[in-house]
């Protein structure tokens, strides 16, 4: 048995044992996985509505007890404020290039925070399910880093931002003409654009006799800490209309990035994007990355801390596609969006936010979700680039900073100095 196969089997045994030791399965119609991932808590039955519900797990596998969060709790206050501030915001438009997404109620709006200690805060449509779409991509990337290794991802898919739209064909062809070294080109871009995400699924190694789909779904379940299912209507709608992605996979096959059957890779990717999740699930999945790869609700170590760090690096540079730089500049946390209206934002070592609101900006990112995360991070802190100065501060001079250096003023009776002659020849 090869090393990768052994790692994959070890992981599957671990998550299945996690499932065996835990409680009720929850939610979702459609086609679930044969091998359920770790499932160890049941979200409280009553949705939070306009109040913030809080629950603490009390330790891995212990059922959370929901209660109304009290004013003065910083997470509660920040969540209640962000929710209220953007509830009436009507900017953006549902994705409709996947026809069924255009029919989702645009007023649905939910926000959830999950901390690395397993506290859950939720408000609004926190439990309403929607298709995960591109928010699935970092989690499949994590599994591929674990099984194929970080170098394989770097060499075959790449980890640099493309600066182009998520489904750009132009980016693939541009990168094809920019070798990363003498022999090597990595035209898929990165694992978060469609080209790279489909290639990630193609690259995913599976142990002999194992079905790739159950590995993909079992992995998402281990991150979410509960059983998940494909929304069959979304899968059908997307499969019937994904002509652009079909062009991408044929090009990637021609460029030898996709090595298996391109239509099979596309089908697995489309199913992955059609998995139903809630904002609450996204927050738990994000909190697992924030917590060094360990799910704070189930206690299962889903991926290694080093894998979580590598995934977060890629999410930081490419999570919101062509607007990622602007996002990082303004908000300063890694975040990943999906055209279903979900966003997950991660503050390593602290907490993650899951949001759901279908109307999107032109880059394909939820408008309200971005605004709410920005407000939460400003209130709670978490900008990964922000640092408090340490050491003794020196007094700033009352008259302010020194004047900018200009050319010296000419001395009376003398001509101004000329630039020094350049020695030698060019
Ligand atoms: O392949 C697609 O176009 C969709 N399944 C996923 C795109 C997506 O979610 C882009 N993210 N904002």
- What per-residue confidence (pLDDT) applies to 13? 43
199 CA to centre of ligand 1 in angstroms: 14
Per-residue pLDDT band for 23 (boundaries 50, 70, 90) equals very low
Place of tokens 């926190």: 126
What is the per-residue pLDDT across 345-358, written as a single tens digit (0 to 9) for each? 999 999 999 999 99
Kind plus residue range of the DSSP H or E element containing 86: helix 74-86
Paired strand residues for 121: 54, 113
Does residue 370 have its Cβ closer than 6 Å to ligand 1? no
Q: Is 80 helix (H, G, I), strand (E, B) or coil?
A: helix
Q: Report the pLDDT value the prediction gives residue 56, as an integer from 0 to 100.
A: 79
- Distance, in Å, from the CA atom of 205 to the CA atom of 40, rounded to the nearest integer, reads 27
Q: Is 194 in the pocket of ligand 1 (CB under 6 A)?
A: yes
For all residues of the chain together, what is the average pLDDT?
Answer: 85
Query: How much is the pLDDT for 37?
Result: 35
The whole-number pLDDT of residue 39 equals 36
323 CB under 6 A from ligand 1?
no
pLDDT in tens, 198-211: 999 999 999 888 99
In the predicted structure, residue 297 carries a pLDDT above the cut 50: yes
pLDDT score, position 404: 60
The residue whose C-alpha atom lies closest to atom 12 belonging to ligand 1 is 338
Ligand 1 mutation target, pool 272, 273, 344, 345, most atoms within 8 A of CB: 273
Residue 19: enclosing H or E segment and its boundaries? helix 3-20
Q: In whole angstroms, what is the distance from residue 335 CA to residue 343 CA?
A: 7
User: What's the pLDDT at 36?
Assistant: 32
pLDDT score of 126? 94
Q: What is the pLDDT of residue 55?
A: 85
**In this predicted structure, which of 37-41, 168-172, 231-235 has the lowest mean pLDDT?**
37-41
Contact between residue 127 and residue 280 where contact means Cβ atoms under 8 Å apart: yes
Element (H, E) at 173: helix 170-176
Q: Please give the distance, rounded to the nearest whole angstrom, from the Cα atom of residue 339 to the centre of ligand 1.
A: 5
Residue 133 CA: nearest ligand 1 atom is 9
One-character DSSP codes across 279-342: HHHHHHHHHHHHTTTB-TTT--B-S-HHHHHHHHHHHHHHTTGGGHHHHHHHT-S-EEE-TTSE
Q: Evaluate: CB of 355 within 6 angstroms of ligand 1.
A: no
Give nearest CA residue, ligand 1 atom 4: 133
- At 49, the pLDDT band (50, 70, 90 cuts) reads confident
| pLDDT (tens digit per residue) in 298-331 | 999 999 999 999 999 999 999 999 999 999 999 9
Q: Is the pLDDT of residue 134 over 80?
A: yes
Pairing of strands 65-68, 119-124: unpaired
Distance 398 CA to ligand 1 centre (A): 54
The answer to whether the beta carbons of residues 366 and 355 sit under 8 Å apart is yes
Q: Inform me whether the pLDDT recorded for 68 exceeds 50.
A: yes
CA angle 88, 361, 359 (to 5 degrees): 45
User: Among 16-25, 146-155, 278-287, 383-392, which is the least confidently predicted range?
Assistant: 16-25
């Amino acid at each position: 048995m090869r090393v990768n196969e052994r790692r994959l089997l070890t992981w599957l045994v671990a998550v299945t044992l996690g499932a065996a030791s835990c409680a009720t399965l929850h939610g979702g119609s459609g086609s679930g996985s044969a091998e359920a991932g770790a499932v160890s808590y049941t979200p409280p039955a009553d949705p939070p509505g306009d109040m913030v519900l809080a629950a603490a797990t009390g330790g891995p596998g212990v059922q959370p007890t929901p209660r109304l969060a009290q004013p003065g709790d910083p997470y509660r206050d920040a969540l209640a404020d962000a929710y209220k501030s953007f509830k009436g915001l009507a900017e953006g438009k549902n994705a409709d290039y996947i026809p069924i997404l255009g029919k989702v109620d645009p007023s649905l709006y939910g926000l959830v925070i999950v901390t690395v200690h397993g506290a859950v805060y939720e408000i609004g449509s926190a439990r309403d399910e929607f298709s995960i779409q591109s928010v699935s991509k970092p989690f499949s990337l994590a599994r591929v880093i674990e099984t194929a290794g970080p170098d394989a991802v770097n060499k075959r898919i790449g980890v640099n931002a493309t600066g182009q739209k998520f489904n750009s064909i132009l980016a693939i062809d541009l990168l094809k003409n920019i070798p990363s070294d003498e022999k090597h080109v990595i035209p898929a871009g990165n694992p978060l654009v469609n080209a790279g995400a489909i290639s990630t699924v193609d690259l995913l190694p599976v142990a002999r006799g194992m079905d790739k789909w159950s590995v993909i779904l079992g992995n998402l379940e281990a991150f979410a800490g509960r059983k998940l299912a494909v929304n069959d209507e979304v899968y059908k709608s997307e499969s019937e209309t994904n002509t652009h992605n079909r062009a991408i996979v044929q090009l990637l096959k021609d460029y030898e990035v996709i090595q298996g059957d391109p239509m099979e890779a596309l089908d697995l990717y489309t199913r992955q994007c059609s998995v139903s999740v809630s904002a609450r699930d996204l927050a738990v999945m994000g909190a697992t990355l924030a917590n060094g790869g360990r799910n704070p609700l189930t206690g299962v170590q889903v991926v290694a801390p080093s894998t979580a760090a590598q995934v977060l690096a890629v999410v930081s540079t490419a999570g919101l596609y062509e607007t990622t730089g602007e996002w990082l500049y303004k908000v300063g946390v890694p975040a990943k969006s999906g055209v279903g209206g979900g966003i997950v934002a991660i503050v390593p070592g602290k907490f993650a936010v899951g949001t759901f609101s279908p109307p999107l900006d032109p880059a394909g990112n939820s408008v309200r979700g971005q605004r709410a995360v920005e407000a939460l991070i400003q209130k709670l802190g978490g900008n990964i680039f922000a640092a408090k100065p340490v050491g003794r501060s020196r007094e700033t001079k009352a008259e302010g900073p020194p004047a900018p250096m200009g050319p010296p003023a000419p001395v009376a009776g003398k001509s101004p100095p000329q630039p020094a002659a350049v020695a030698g020849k060019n």
